[in-house]
Amino acid sequence: MGKFKMRLIAVFLFSLSSLGLLAQYEIWTVGTASTIPEGHLDVSVFRPARYGISKTLEVSAQPFIFPILPNGQVKKTWYKKEFVFATVHGINYPSMFLNMVRKRDNPELIPIDSVVPQFFTIKNEVIVSKILKKASTCEAENFVLSLKLGIQFAFQFGENTLPQIEKPIIYPRTYIYHKEILWYVGADIDGHLNSFINFSADLDFLSIGLGIDDFAIEHKGLLVMPLTESLMILGGYKISYGTYPSGSNFAIYPMLDLSWKYIFKYRKAKQKGLFEDKMF
């Protein structure tokens, strides 16, 4: 009788661990080589919205600023076995937004007498990810390490008298408006802090030009916590240290965002309807 009770307790504990495994919130895929699941839509206040076209293709854009700063990006997973390999390609048109900033006549950003040309900025990135801790009967897979290498540049049409904007985070990303390239390397680690909260942390090195001239070192840390089945909150910080023509600067910024998820089921429903028509 005692052995039976022990076996019953063991089965009960195993069931609890399995439920915890299934209930564990999925690891955030933004900085990894994995795409958002097919049919999933993720909309954030500040980050680009993401949608899974297929199991290996994701599209994203920031819809709230799209009318003044058209933008878009695709992530394609090419290989997914012992490691995951993906490429990211993006384009945006910042000229309208830059003109809006110029009209505010802020000399520290863009003086009102500056000439803004027509810009198209291009982003290309390679990401490789690997799961450091495989899933077991008691725990979900954890600790996804991602390495990335990327380049950004701009196509320019017309006269350009924009100044260099020597502000943390902004400077390296806008210096491409002066016929320079931005290249960067970085590492991300994403995983489960516990069964309820996930984390994401990265460290990036960015440099202007083909060599290492002015550069920036950036680090971000985030905690991701679900509020409901479809709503989650993200909170953390971003640190930047960069060198500029006039010197160097250090800055730290708080980060807070809300993300809403919706799963489209029309494809499965449509397939089921076709199957039922054939059967009956």
Alpha-carbon span 74 to 70, nearest angstrom: 14
Q: Which two tokens stand for residue 241?
A: 């240290």
DSSP string, 103-158: TT-BTTTB-TTPPP-EEEEEEEEEEEEEEEE---SSS--EEEEEEEEEEEEEEEES
Could you say which architecture CATH assigns to the domain 2-279?
A: Beta Barrel (2.40)
Domain layout of the chain by residue ranges: 2-279
- For residue 41, the model assigns a pLDDT of 96
Q: Which two tokens stand for residue 268?
A: 């499965």
Please state the φ and ψ torsions of residue 110, each to the nearest 5 degrees: -135, 110
- For residue 28, the model assigns a pLDDT of 78
- For residue 22, the model assigns a pLDDT of 36
- For residue 212, the model assigns a pLDDT of 75
- For residue 19, the model assigns a pLDDT of 36
0.85 cut: is pTM over it? Answer: no
Report whether 183 contacts 216 (CB < 8 A).
Answer: no
Per-residue pLDDT of the chain (280 residues; tens, 9 = 90+): 455 444 444 433 333 333 333 345 678 789 999 999 999 999 999 999 999 999 999 999 999 999 999 999 999 999 998 899 999 999 999 999 999 999 887 888 899 999 999 999 999 999 999 999 887 777 778 899 999 999 999 999 999 999 988 999 999 999 999 989 999 999 999 999 888 899 999 999 999 987 777 899 999 999 999 999 899 999 999 999 999 888 889 999 999 999 999 999 755 444 444 334 333 2
Residue 74 pairs in a beta bridge with 59, 89
- For residue 2, the model assigns a pLDDT of 52
Q: Which two tokens stand for residue 108?
A: 């520290």
- For residue 266, the model assigns a pLDDT of 53
